Amino acid sequence: MFDFKSPAREDLPLLRKICENYGTMGCDFNSSNIYLWRKRYNIKICFYDGMLVLSYFRDNVPWGYCFPIGEGDPTRAIAEIFRDAKQRGVEAAFVMLTDAQKEKLVAITGYEYDFEELTGDEDYIYTNYDLSLLPGKKYHSKRNHISKFDRTYPKWSFQIISRKHFRDVMTVLEKWCDNNDIDRNSFEEYSALKEALENYELLQLHGGILYVDETPAAFAIGSRINQNTFDVSFEKGLVEYEGVYSKINNEFAKTLIGFEFINREEDMGIESLRKSKLSYHPVVILKRFKGVKKNA
């Protein structure tokens, strides 16, 4: 049986090394996300035979195992997943599988699986070139939104986030919660962002904040998934400033020098969010699946 534990601060260096070396573009294997969302999704981890085994728990048992990643052979880890599930009296369900991981799972085990697409969990991934330059006809409307923002709010400014900006970041989120009738005390993203700022350097986060007439209006914060892909984990803007999301998106992308791709994460099944993410023309929509072994 795996010795699962909640991710801790001392696990971050090894988590980061394994996740970055794996090379995935998915936000679920961003080490910062694993740590910051451990409570919300009841994430447990185990280091086994050179592999990271990550599982989502419910009622003190795993309801879903992720495909094991690391420098070792996933064959042994996958066999141990089936044993672990049996010993705990649950079904060995694999979750957040990519298409490539589905194929590997079948090839390694030789089993047949029932695969179910996890709608709302797709990652929307873009090129840095597209988001920072907004080139060509397909981004014409985005450039217009930004031009109008610049004309309407000529005294805007954008700054890279450091500790002196943390209070302003929380101010934006608090106003956003108030505008959307959300109780910040029970809002998981509120507590996650607060913890992110408290551990900003440890988590190797990078962010930008947008001001209008010296009033904080929007922010974006994230971290690298690997050397080639950056993950935008937090982004909020105050819509009383027309075009604020187009502006923060573009200004922040310009700071991500050296990254070829930007992951703007999932749409959570929200239709308006899906349309917004599609409007930026992702080059990859990384689908996720749940897989359960078929009964013989």
Per-chain mean pLDDT for the chain: 96
Using one digit for the tens of pLDDT, what is the confidence trace for 50-81?
999 999 999 999 999 999 999 888 999 999 99
Kindly indicate the confidence band of residue 144, based on its pLDDT and cuts at 50, 70 and 90.
Answer: very high
The whole-number pLDDT of residue 104 equals: 96
Using one digit for the tens of pLDDT, what is the confidence trace for 175-190?
999 999 999 989 999 9
Q: Where are the alpha helices (DSSP H) in the chain?
A: 12-22, 31-36, 74-88, 99-109, 128-133, 140-152, 166-179, 188-198, 244-254, 271-278
The whole-number pLDDT of residue 269 equals: 86
Give the other-Cβ count within 10 Å of 77's Cβ: 24
Taking each helix axis as running N to C, give the angle between helix 99-109 and helix 74-88, from 0 to 180 degrees, rounded to the nearest 10. Answer: 80
In terms of DSSP bridges, do strands 229-237 and 261-263 run parallel, antiparallel, or are they unpaired? parallel
Which two three-digit tokens encode residue 195? Answer: 């913890």
CA-to-CA distance for 20 and 158, rounded, in angstroms? 29
Kindly list the structural domains of the chain, giving each domain's residue range(s) and its CATH number in brackets, ordered by start.
9-121+289-293 (3.40.630.30), 123-265 (3.40.630.30)
Query: Does residue 296 surpass a pLDDT of 80?
Result: no
Single out the residue of 50, 49, 46, 48 nearest to residue 34, CA to CA.
Answer: 46
The whole-number pLDDT of residue 110 equals: 96
Spatial contact of 294 and 113, defined as CB atoms under 8 Å apart? yes
CA-to-CA distance for 258 and 176, rounded, in angstroms? 31
The whole-number pLDDT of residue 23 equals: 85
CA-to-CA distance for 64 and 54, rounded, in angstroms? 9
CA-to-CA distance for 45 and 10, rounded, in angstroms? 13
Kindly indicate the confidence band of residue 221, based on its pLDDT and cuts at 50, 70 and 90.
Answer: very high
The whole-number pLDDT of residue 245 equals: 97
